[in-house]
């Protein structure tokens, strides 16, 4: 049996928030910096998504199905493609039609819902599944959580949703002496198979490729293959997981990253020791060598490989808790705009901007951060969230009035009903929605 | 009567309250028939000269007082070493600042000596050097205008060397004005001794010292060892002329409690946060706003997040001009919990906008305001009690708003200036 190489690329762009001041609370409920979001998306589409998709299509066709990759595309970025660069969706669709590309499942909003609420987590996974089916006509079978966040408990939730394969980080503090280059199974749900990222080999491409200070610069395909061989001498599978923006955006085209990727498949295939597989194929082909115990959540971020990049200080925790406190109230509401904002405010990036770990991974954090300091990020986010909470509370009181009015209308004393309904002029607005109470869940998708 | 006044800034380009105070004071003096020659390091030309004649120190060449300048350089040499006025720079930054300064000074001093010097008029890293140069230029100006003034008036330590020089060269009496002391600017162990030294020099050389409150007067006497007979308290006023009533539409339906000022240790922002947390436990229809910036801001943000009240406690960052007025107009209660405040003009502005105010007993304005609620800055329970009362009981908030409005409108620079004129007269007569 040939050894495997599994390539998976993450595609995501957050909805960056505009400068939202205290004075805007209660007055203006548009939260997003549309200009920045469009500009960045268009730029990355030109530099990365479009050329790289074209290259992958070419490679898949040239290698007649022997070259395979997997994508996870967040709902947030799909919305932006739809709005600002529909041609990108078209190019992904072409890749989907080759049959050599697997689309993974994740939370629609690239959120941290798995750490907050099983219900919200499930909602978002279902919403994302619907979106992938809608755009690409395929149903995702393997799961990858936001930033590869994983724990035993999350694994169990994922398995309960019907997934048999999940991707996560080969975190050293979890693996100990074990190698990431095997298939593992979830400790709490043994039928869920786990693919672990090989950090060192993934980062050689994602972070070090263009670094001229790196002793191994320049990286050639031959050299890279020899490293893969060395790493997997007695092992079975090498998982190379990275952001898709690596190609052309983080590593500029001038660094030769496209040429590297153009040459890699053929060299691997000709060599014959390895073959390319998608995550679902890998899970079928290999057998798990053992359980992986992960009590506390791990991720692919920072030296710590834990979730402290998003929930590591009091700012992040407070913002996260305040946001999740709204879920209960929202469950009573059938308001598409509110649910959409709730989702976008859950994007993990907002919490990443509030990270204060400036010393070890500051450089990476800075690159991805539109704010000068985590404090500014926090203030801005909380101002937006405060406005959002106001809207939720208003909507709740309106629906309460409707409920009372409906009840009172049935009651024999008509005067009381008129009195209760009259003072709230806005109650009328919400009435049509109240007529279809069962529509709540479908509207959210 | 004519006065030569040394200031550091003048509206419209101001960084602190000093410029505003000087503006109101000079207008009041003009009303009392006192002519003011106002010297400032860097005038831009758009200052309101209706009440004063402004002399831009950047336009004056130093060449007429050669002997004294040498003497001066000798005296003030020490301030050229390590001119670090930037608070809380870390050691590596400090080293580069000091080294750059030293190199620049060696080069700069040779070139600048005997020529015009372009002052920045800001509170920057080379502030100490500017202070020394300002003294040299001030002396020159004093000689040039020797026959056009009877008394010298210097505002805050920045201008004291200039005041002293002018006095020595012309023999005219000197009045120095303490708007703040080093002990209000930093906690005891962080006091800048070079500034303390300049302040002491100025007050010692002066014929009379004006302090903006009894609180500041006591500091002058107890901390600087100045003769009590020499120090008088002259409380500030506020000039509200030309201010339109700002109509703002409220954006939140809850009541708003505001802290507005620099977010620094001396302003007591953390007591405000603690009081906010206590109030929020009791009532829900309130939001707190901390408007301003400063070296404690990030710490305050963490503090608020740790208390878990950040959905009800908002930060606006630094506000300027109109935004400040807007913030007052949006407020229901204003709180100034300063640990040490020489005077504190902002509660007066709040009250002028009909906002009831809570001020610490450790602020100078507490001495003249009857209709502001006063608490000790450290007494978080009393502070939250006062906030809660003003929010929940309309009787007291209406009374505080109505009477506070009348009270601050009766505090006029014209009256203050009359008092200052009396002090001028006293020192001229003695001279």
What is the ipTM for the molecules in this complex? 0.73
Chain A hits for B259, CB-CB cut-off 8 Å, are none
pLDDT at B84: 32
Q: How confident is the model at residue B368 (pLDDT cuts 50, 70, 90)?
A: very high
* pLDDT for res B117: 60
Distance CA B175, CA B162 (A): 12
Which pLDDT band holds residue B242 (cuts at 50, 70, 90)? low
**In this structure, how many other beta carbons lie within 10 angstroms of the beta carbon of residue A337?**
10
- SS3 state of residue A130: helix
pLDDT at B15: 65
Per-residue pLDDT at B85: 36
Confidence category of residue B124, pLDDT binned at 50, 70, 90 = low
pLDDT attached to residue A209: 95
A262 touches B: beta carbon within 8 Å: no
Residues of B in contact with A25 (CB under 8 A): 251-252, 314
Residue from the list B253, B297, B306 with its beta carbon closest to the beta carbon of A375: B297
Show the low-confidence residues of chain A (pLDDT under 70): 358-367, 411-445
Average pLDDT, chain B: 83
pLDDT tens per residue across span B175-228: 999 999 988 877 777 888 888 999 999 999 999 999 999 999 999 999 999 999
Characterize B104-120 residue by residue with b for buried, 16 or more Cβ atoms within 10 angstroms of its Cβ, and e for exposed.
ebeeeeeebbeeebebe
| Of the candidate ranges B33-47, B373-387, B390-404, the one whose mean pLDDT is the lowest | B33-47
Condensed to tens digits (0 to 9), the pLDDT of residues B101-111 reads 555 444 433 33
Contact A26 B305 (CB under 8 A): no
pLDDT in tens, B147-162: 889 999 999 988 999 9
> DSSP assignment of A267-298, as one string?
HHHHH-SEEEE-HHHHHHHS---SEE--SS-B
Facing A21 at nearest CB: one of B297, B311, B316: B316
Label the pairing between strands B52-56 and B373-375: unpaired
What is the percent of chain B with per-residue pLDDT over 90, rounded to a whole number?
Answer: 50
B305·A314 Cβ contact <8 A: yes
In this model, does residue B318 exceed pLDDT 90?
no
Q: Count of CB atoms within 10 A of residue A81's CB?
A: 22
Between residues B169 and A91, the one the model is more confident about: A91
- Which residue does chain B place closest to A325, by CA atoms? B311
pTM score, whole prediction: 0.79
Interval B241-254 mean pLDDT: 78
Q: At residue B314, does pLDDT exceed 90?
A: yes
Give the helix, strand, coil percentages of chain A, each rounded to 5. 55, 15, 30
Q: Give the mean pLDDT of B390-409.
A: 91
Element (H, E) at A73: strand A69-73
Q: Are A21 and B298 in contact (CB < 8 Å)?
A: no
A147 flagged as catalytic: yes
CB contact under 8 A, A22 and B298: no
Q: Identify any residues that bridge with B53 across adjacent strands, giving them in sequence order.
A: B37
Residues 6+ apart with CB under 8 A from B294: B262, B263, B264, B267, B269
Residue in A closest to B318 by C-alpha = A21
Partner-chain contact B305 A373, CB within 8 Å: no
What pLDDT is stored for residue B246 in this prediction?
72
Mark residue A348 as left, alpha or beta (left: phi above 0; alpha: psi -120 to 50; beta: remaining): alpha
Q: What pLDDT was estimated at residue B192?
A: 84
Which pLDDT does position B69 carry in this prediction? Answer: 40
pLDDT of residue B123: 60
């Amino acid at each position: 049996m040939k050894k495997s190489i599994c390539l998976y690329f993450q595609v995501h762009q957050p909805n960056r928030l505009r400068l939202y001041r205290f004075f805007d609370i209660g007055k203006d409920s548009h939260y997003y910096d549309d200009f920045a979001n469009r500009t960045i998306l268009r730029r990355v589409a030109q530099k990365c998504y479009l050329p790289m998709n074209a290259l992958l299509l070419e490679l898949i066709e040239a290698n007649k199905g022997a070259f395979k990759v997997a994508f996870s595309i967040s709902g947030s970025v799909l919305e932006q493609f739809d709005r600002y660069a529909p041609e990108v969706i078209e190019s992904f669709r072409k890749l989907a039609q080759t049959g050599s590309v697997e689309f993974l499942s994740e939370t629609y909003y690239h959120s941290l819902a798995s750490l907050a609420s099983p219900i919200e987590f499930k909602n978002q996974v279902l919403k994302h599944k619907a979106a992938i089916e809608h755009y690409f006509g395929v149903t995702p079978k393997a799961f990858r959580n936001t930033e590869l966040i994983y724990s035993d408990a999350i694994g169990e939730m994922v398995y309960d949703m019907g997934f048999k394969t999940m991707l996560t980080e080969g975190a050293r503090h979890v693996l100990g002496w074990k190698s990431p280059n095997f298939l593992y199974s979830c400790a709490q749900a043994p039928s869920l198979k786990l693919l672990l990222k090989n950090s060192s080999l993934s980062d050689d491409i994602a972070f070090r490729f263009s670094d001229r200070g790196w002793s191994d610069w320049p990286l050639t395909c031959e050299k890279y293959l020899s490293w893969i061989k060395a790493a997997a001498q007695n092992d079975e599978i090498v998982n190379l997981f990275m952001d898709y923006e690596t190609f052309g955006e983080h590593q500029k085209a001038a660094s030769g990253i496209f040429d590297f990727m153009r040459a890699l498949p053929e060299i691997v295939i000709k060599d014959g020791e390895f073959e390319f597989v998608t995550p679902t194929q890998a899970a079928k082909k290999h057998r798990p060598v053992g359980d992986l115990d992960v009590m506390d959540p791990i991720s692919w971020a920072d030296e710590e490989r834990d979730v402290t990049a998003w929930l590591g200080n009091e700012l992040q925790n407070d913002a996260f808790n305040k946001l999740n406190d709204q879920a209960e109230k929202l469950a009573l509401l059938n308001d598409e705009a509110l649910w959409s904002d709730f989702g976008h405010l859950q994007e993990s990036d907002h919490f990443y901007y509030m990270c204060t770990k400036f010393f070890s991974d500051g450089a990476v954090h800075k690159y991805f951060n539109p704010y000068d300091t985590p404090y500014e990020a926090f203030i801005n986010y909380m101002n937006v969230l405060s406005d959002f909470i106001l809207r939720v509370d208003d909507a709740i009181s309106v629906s309460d009035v409707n409920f009372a009015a409906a009840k009172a209308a049935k009651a024999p004393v008509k005067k009381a009903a008129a009195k209760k309904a009259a003072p709230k002029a806005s109650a009328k607005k919400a009435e049509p929605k109240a007529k279809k109470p069962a529509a709540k869940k479908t509207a959210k998708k | 009567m004519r006065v030569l006044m040394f200031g550091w800034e003048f509206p419209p380009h101001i960084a602190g309250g000093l410029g505003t105070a000087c503006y109101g004071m000079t207008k009041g003096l003009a009303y009392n028939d006192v002519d003011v020659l106002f010297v400032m390091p860097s005038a831009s030309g758009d200052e309101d000269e209706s009440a004063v004649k402004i002399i831009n120190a950047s336009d004056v060449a130093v060449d007429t007082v050669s002997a004294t300048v040498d003497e001066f350089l000798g005296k003030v040499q020490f301030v050229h070493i390590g001119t670090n006025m930037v608070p809380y720079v870390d050691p590596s930054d400090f080293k580069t600042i000091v080294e750059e300064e030293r190199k620049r000074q060696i080069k700069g001093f040779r070139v600048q000596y005997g020529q015009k010097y372009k002052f920045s008029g800001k509170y920057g890293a080379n502030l100490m050097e500017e202070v020394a140069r300002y003294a040299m230029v001030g002396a020159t100006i004093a000689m040039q205008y020797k026959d056009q003034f009877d008394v010298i008036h210097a505002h805050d330590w920045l201008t004291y060397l200039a005041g002293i020089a002018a006095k020595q060269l012309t023999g005219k009496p000197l009045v120095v004005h303490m708007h703040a002391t080093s002990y209000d600017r930093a906690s005891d162990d962080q006091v800048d001794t070079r500034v303390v030294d300049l302040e002491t020099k100025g007050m010692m050389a002066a014929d009379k010292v004006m302090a903006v409150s009894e609180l500041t007067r006591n500091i002058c006497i107890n901390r600087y060892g100045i003769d009590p007979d020499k120090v008088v308290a002259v409380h500030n006023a506020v000039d509200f002329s030309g201010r339109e009533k700002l109509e703002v539409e409220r954006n939140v339906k809850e009541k708003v409690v505001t802290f507005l000022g620099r977010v620094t240790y001396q302003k007591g922002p953390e007591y405000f946060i603690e009081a906010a947390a206590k109030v929020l436990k009791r009532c829900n229809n309130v939001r707190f706003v901390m408007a301003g910036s400063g070296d404690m801001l990030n710490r305050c943000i963490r503090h608020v997040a740790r208390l878990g009240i950040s959905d009800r406690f908002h930060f606006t960052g630094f506000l300027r001009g109109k935004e400040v007025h807007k913030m007052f107009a949006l407020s229901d209660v204003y709180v100034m919990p300063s640990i040490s405040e020489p005077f504190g003009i902002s509660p007066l502005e709040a009250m002028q906008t009909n906002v009831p105010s809570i001020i610490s007993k450790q602020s100078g304005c507490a001495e003249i305001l009857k209709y502001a609620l006063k608490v000790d800055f450290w007494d978080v329970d009393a502070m939250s009690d006062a906030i809660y009362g003003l929010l929940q009981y309309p009787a007291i908030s209406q009374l505080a708003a109505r009477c506070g409005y009348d009270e601050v409108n009766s505090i006029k620079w014209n009256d203050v200036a009359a008092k200052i004129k009396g002090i001028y007269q006293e020192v001229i007569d003695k001279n």
